[in-house]
Amino acid sequence: TGNPIQSLAPGAFSGLSNLQKLVAVETNLISLENFPIGHLKSLKELNVAHNFIHSFKLPEYFSNLPKLEHLDLSKNNIQNIYHEDLHVLHQNSSLNLSLDLSLNPIHFIQPGSFKGIRFHELTLRSNFDSVNIMKTCIQGLAGLEVHRLVWGEFRNERYVKDFDKSALEGLCNLAIEEFSLANLEESLKDADLFHCLTNVSAISLVSLDLNYLKGFYNNYGWRSLELVNCKFEQFPTLELFSLERFILTHNKDGLTFAEVELPSLEYLDISKNGLSFKGCCSHTDFETNRLIYLDLSFNGIITMSSNFLGLEGLQHLDFRHSTLKQTSDFPVFLSLKNLRYLDISYTHTRVVFHGIFDGLVSLEVLKMAGNSFQDDVLPDVFQNMTNLTFLDLSECRLEQVTQKAFNSLSSLRLLNISHNNLLSLDILPYKSLQSLHVLDCSFNRIVASKNQELQYFPSSLAFLNLTQNDFACICEHQSFLQWVKDQRQLLVEAEQMLCTTPLDMQGIPVLSFRNTTCQMSKTIISVSAVIFFVVSVVVVMVYKFYFHLMLLAGCKKYSRGESTYDAFVIYSSQDEDWVRNELVKNLEEGVPPFQLCLHYRDFIPGVAIAANIIQEGFHKSRKVIVVVSNHFLQSRWCIFEYEIAQTWQFLSSRAGIIFIVLQKVEKSLLRQQVELYCLLKRNTYLEWEDSVLGRHIFWRRLRKALLDGKPWSPEGTEVAE
């Protein structure tokens, strides 16, 4: 193609004994006479279009091309066709040739030139300058037998005007089985135009203005009628009793379907018309009960008001890109037990009724992409569809698939569930799909799959597409990521499976994930956890025993020095009157005198209470006096001081705590302080009794306890005595 060839030697194509197709378009060819192809006995197709060939004379070597099926001479300069030009074809009646003479400026065809010749297909488009020339040339075709005759013009190559009903009269002298007419500029208003074609089996009208042509009636014996882009504003009236195949597509939007009378109809394609159906579908709509193929795709609103009564023989049904109403209100397809193919893709169907597909026991292909399900969950709506082999559920906004959704689909081989919102690869729903060969889960939001579910994949699965998902390449999903590596041969474009999280792995192939990272991470996490635990324990212990540690430090500091006080008094502020009037008066003013540490008198201002208790109270005192009362047991500060006192006694290794039970203590309160309760049960304590004898015994025993360990000077001893 496109080479400016000046000459071809006789042996140019020698050796190509098996050549079947030769294209020599735009090669400056002016004649077929010297074209060196006579030895190409296997040649089936010869295309010499767009050249300068001016004669239709077919050379004698064409008799040596017994397998030639297609000869394209379009867009040359052939003007006249004579009987002698077809001498080879008259001698070889066995040829079943398809001939294309379009775009040649034909002015004359000698009558009888084509008589007795049979073509499989003859194409004559944009050949005539006027209707009269066309009529004359049609007369020249008299006697021709042709399986399919293609007539008309091209959209940008229109010459014929005034196309009246007599324009095709000459076709009555031809034996035609199928006729196609395309791209006429004139509006065709009279069906009588086709009166010479009443006995053809099939007629195709493409890109014609048939708006004023009301319809076709029963005197036409057509078995197939195709009307494509014919500008109908109303659905045509059809009463064709012999019609078996009818196609009406690519017409103006907004047509309303009108009932037709086509009792023999088996194949109906009325797609891409913007048609609206107020009630669909039953045999009364088409006046036939023989329908096998029905295509209503790319139309307007179709209201499903009948369950195909009288159309039980349907095997192919297509609604895609039309808007279906009331589909999920009742079992619409219940009577279609012979249906093999159903396409309801992008029909705005929302599946609520679980019996929507009841009755489709023979269905093999189901396409329902672009629809939706209640709660975005796929339920078990495919019951008894044991023959289904192809299922398309893409773009259905699915977030979850129930485990029993595919239980009945034992024959399913291809499942497309891509472009949904699935978050995980749940394998259990696919467990029963023992014949599944291809599974497409791409373009979802799958993060990973649980390890225990991976074993349920059908053994028959050969192709699994998981690309364009939101994989989390983290150690938590280590088993799934390892499974991806192990199943590389099963996965489609495994290299295109990319990590989405974490951020440092975003955009990196899943196959690049390393398990050693997880092992290192586990070690680091374990060590970090131990360190964190130890530090936490230390912090908690330090926090809890801060004052005890502070006391320990003080004990080491003051262990060698003399005590400033004889006793540090722990008491409740509610008992301060007794401490001042009894304890202080009798011990500090008595003989011998004892120096007591009292918080209201001896604590240093500006220092924290806890610090004063430890530094002034415990560190500088030989003994500790604990005044136990109900008020004491209810005071948090008193209990705190008592606990510190116990630690102080333990660290100083001496019996330094003297308990004074001031009043009868409620046992319920005392038992709340378990250690104090046990200590009072095990040790001797002083009990205050406000009587002459009781007071005498109390003070004698208390002074004796305070004298224990108190250093004495000789003067002090004499005074004491």
With a CB cutoff of 8 Å and minimum separation 6, the contacts of 445 are 421, 422, 423, 469, 470
Which amino acid is located at 239 in the chain?
Answer: E
Question: Is pLDDT at 713 greater than 70 in this prediction?
Answer: no
% of the chain at pLDDT higher than 70: 89
pLDDT in tens, 122-157: 999 999 988 899 999 999 999 999 999 999 998 887
E runs forming strands in 433-522: 438-440, 463-465, 471-472, 499-501
Lowest mean pLDDT among 402-406, 553-557, 705-709: 553-557
User: What confidence category does residue 651 fall into, taking pLDDT thresholds of 50, 70 and 90?
Assistant: low
Amino acid 654: pLDDT = 59
pLDDT in tens, 282-304: 888 888 899 999 999 999 999 99
Euclidean distance between CA atoms 248 and 374, whole angstroms? 35
pLDDT in tens, 584-635: 888 888 888 888 888 888 888 888 777 777 777 777 888 888 888 888 878 8
Mean pLDDT value across residues 77-87: 95
Lowest mean pLDDT among 20-34, 381-395, 451-465: 451-465
With a CB cutoff of 8 Å and minimum separation 6, the contacts of 628 are 659, 660, 661, 662, 665, 676, 680, 685
- The angle at the Cα of 84, spanning 81 to 85, to the nearest 5 degrees, equals 50
Amino acid 295: pLDDT = 96
What's the burial of 296, exposed, middle or buried (CB within 10 Å: 0-12/13-18/19+)? buried
Three-state SS for 80?
strand
More confident position, 450 or 702: 702
- Residue 231: closest CA among 260, 254, 198: 254
Amino acid 71: pLDDT = 97
Question: Is pLDDT at 717 greater than 50 in this prediction?
Answer: no
User: What confidence category does residue 547 fall into, taking pLDDT thresholds of 50, 70 and 90?
Assistant: low
**Given the structure tokens 């559920």, which residue do they identify?**
393
Euclidean distance between CA atoms 323 and 645, whole angstroms? 87
Give me the count of residues in the chain: 721
Residue 465 main-chain phi, psi, to 5 deg: -105, 115
Q: What is the DSSP letter of 563?
A: P
User: What confidence category does residue 553 fall into, taking pLDDT thresholds of 50, 70 and 90?
Assistant: low
Three-state SS for 443?
coil
Q: What is the DSSP letter of 126?
A: S
E runs forming strands in 375-509: 377-378, 390-392, 400-401, 414-416, 438-440, 463-465, 471-472, 499-501
Amino acid 365: pLDDT = 98
Per-chain mean pLDDT for the chain: 86
Lowest mean pLDDT among 234-243, 323-332, 532-541: 532-541
**Given the structure tokens 């052939």, which residue do they identify?**
78
pLDDT in tens, 245-266: 999 998 876 677 777 788 899 9
Tokens linked to 243: 């019609």
Tokens linked to 227: 């009307």
Mean pLDDT value across residues 567-587: 88
Amino acid 637: pLDDT = 78
Q: What is the DSSP letter of 496?
A: G
Greatest mean pLDDT among 266-280, 505-519, 607-621 lies in 266-280
- Among the residues of 5-125, which ranges form H helices? 87-91
Q: What is the DSSP letter of 452?
A: G
Mean pLDDT value across residues 495-518: 88
Which amino acid is located at 391 in the chain?
Answer: L
Euclidean distance between CA atoms 312 and 335, whole angstroms? 6
Residue 315 main-chain phi, psi, to 5 deg: -120, -20
More confident position, 56 or 655: 56
% of the chain at pLDDT higher than 90: 47
pTM of the entire predicted model: 0.70
Mean pLDDT value across residues 421-444: 90
More confident position, 508 or 640: 508
Amino acid 621: pLDDT = 83
Q: What is the DSSP letter of 503?
A: G
Euclidean distance between CA atoms 354 and 377, whole angstroms? 12
Amino acid 177: pLDDT = 96
**Given the structure tokens 């009558």, which residue do they identify?**
111
User: What confidence category does residue 688 fall into, taking pLDDT thresholds of 50, 70 and 90?
Assistant: confident
Mean pLDDT value across residues 270-278: 88
Euclidean distance between CA atoms 662 and 472, whole angstroms? 70
Q: Are 66 and 44 in contact (CB under 8 A)?
A: no
Lowest mean pLDDT among 4-8, 44-48, 213-217, 249-253: 213-217
